[in-house]
Every structure is written in structure tokens, then in C-alpha cells.
Amino acid sequence: MPPKADDVPVSVLIETEEAWKNVCGETAEKDFLHVVEVFSAWCGASEAINSTLKRLNQDYNGRKIRFFKMDHTLWPEFEKATSRPHFVLFKDGEAHETIEGINTPLLEKLIADTIPEGVLDLDDAAGGGGDEEED
């Protein structure tokens, strides 16, 4: 039996440099859109965006998109601590778009404009690039 929508994790927490390399850089997973919420540990990941991410996860179920979150210290470009979350869209290991703060309409538009064509095959659906954490 497939998991209920409430049982599906909103995003995968990136905790190691190895997991980060699956999203960013030359060894990143290709032909996928990776949406990464970058937050500061002292502030935590944004709870305000969870309902939007859950809905987007459901809307794009079976498509070539994955949602992640990570502390800014894993990515040198985000060394400067901030209380505002940043959402970065990666495709083929390169950052394509960055959104500062929570801007749901812009996030939805950029995902719709950037997501690769096609659907997941069974091998892709089993992947995820890291340990899952439910929000």
C-alpha cells in the first residue's frame, strides 16, 4: 500500500557534504530539479512554508523534482547567517534561481518553469539522496 500524503516527508535533510554533492556540483544527480531550503540552525527550517511544500510534493508526485533542506554552513556561499530562509533551485548540479524569504507565488512559478519534462522511472522513484526527515 502506498504511503498516505501525510506520511510522505516534505523534504530530505542534507546533513553531510556527501549528500550535498548529490544536489550541487559535478557529481550531482542529473535531469532533476532540486529545491533546497537553506536555513540557519539557530533559526531552524521554516514551518511557515511546510504546507506549501507538502502541496507541491503532491502536485508534482512522480515528476523529476526533489525537495531538500540544509543548514547554511554546508554551503560556503551562504556562510552569512540569516534569519530569512533561502530557496535555491538546482538543475544538473548548478543553481538556477534563488529566492530570499518566503515567496510562494515565485517559488511555484520557478518550479513550473524549471522542472524537467517527463516522469520518474522506478529506479529514480526509489532515490532521494539522503536520510529522510518528516516535518
In the chain, domain spans: 5-120
Three-state SS at 91? strand
Q: Do β-strands 132-133 and 94-100 pair in parallel, antiparallel, or remain unpaired? A: unpaired
Amino acid 68: pLDDT: 93
Distance from C-alpha of 114 to C-alpha of 133, rounded to nearest angstrom: 25
The DSSP call for residue 20 is H
The DSSP call for residue 3 is P
Q: Hey, what amino acid is at 39?
A: F
The answer regarding whether domain 5-120 maps to CATH 2.60.40.1190 reads no
The pLDDT profile of the chain, 135 residues, written as one tens digit per residue, is 455 555 556 889 999 888 988 898 888 988 999 999 988 777 766 777 888 889 999 999 999 999 999 888 777 676 665 667 889 999 999 999 999 888 899 999 999 999 998 887 755 555 554 444 444
- Report whether 126 contacts 70 (CB < 8 A): no
Q: Hey, what amino acid is at 25?
A: G
- Rounded to 5, what percent of the chain is helix, strand, coil? 30, 25, 45
Residues paired with 38 in a beta bridge: 70, 86
Question: Which residues neighbour 25 within 8 Å (Cβ) at sequence distance 6 or greater?
Answer: 93
Instruction: Count the residues in the chain.
Output: 135
Amino acid 125: pLDDT: 52
